[in-house]
Structure 1
Amino acid sequence: MATGNFCCLPKQTSKLGSLRNLLLDGCSLRSMPPRVGLLTCLKSLNCFVIGKRKGYQLGELKNLNLYGSISIIKLERVKKERDAKEANLSAKANLHSLRLSWDFDGTHRYESEVLEALKSHPNLK
């Protein structure tokens, strides 16, 4: 578990292929390390900060079989409904808690479409 006040994880984090838990309580990440989606053994990821470039975006969650809860932060960086659908939250039957967060600046017009595309699995509590 990582705690503290740091803004980034090492870019090579995606090479930790056997990593099972990445808990980022109390961290102030600007975005996730690139290609988190390669961590296919990952079961716990309590925070995902969306980045602006490919490899840092919401679609990285697509192939992860996550358990427990997750907070998805910086949703204002999702520009298209299809980018949100790539996360495949509706297939994540083992998630029981989901927190979504936008930093509203008044210019993002896609909140409702993105929210609809982030439809979760019915098991979500």
Structure 2
Amino acid sequence: MLAARPGVWWDSARVGVGPPPLETPHGWLVLYHGTKWVADGPVHRMGLALLRRGDEWLLAPDRDYEIVGTAPNVVFPTGLVHDTATDQLRLYYGAADRCVALATANLSEVRHSRLRPRRGLPCGLHRLSLRA
């Protein structure tokens, strides 16, 4: 959602998540923390970002393991990991309260693609079920 900004910004070294975003009429208000390295070490601060609201969606249930289960037609995010060595995003998500699944994509592709409400998946997003 947010990345450290290059240069002399107060959040140039690191960015971390805060509490859940707050929906406002103008978009999602996000509170986050940022780090900047100075001569004496890191300085941590809090910041605000306003993210545009939209009706784009990333993932919709369309696989059998997402459609059939205790909670049919449900996908919900549970974890997100970015492998900086490969630029791969790994989105772990629950599917129909039946299994945990994994969707992967390159972060650079996701950042530069526009999500389309009817298509949903950005280029390069692949899914698989992690059922036991």
Q: Which has the larger share of helix?
A: 1
If the length of structure 2 is used for normalisation, what is the TM-score? 0.21
Higher relative contact order (Cα pairs below 8 Å, separated by 6+ residues)? 1
Q: TM-score, normalised by structure 1?
A: 0.22
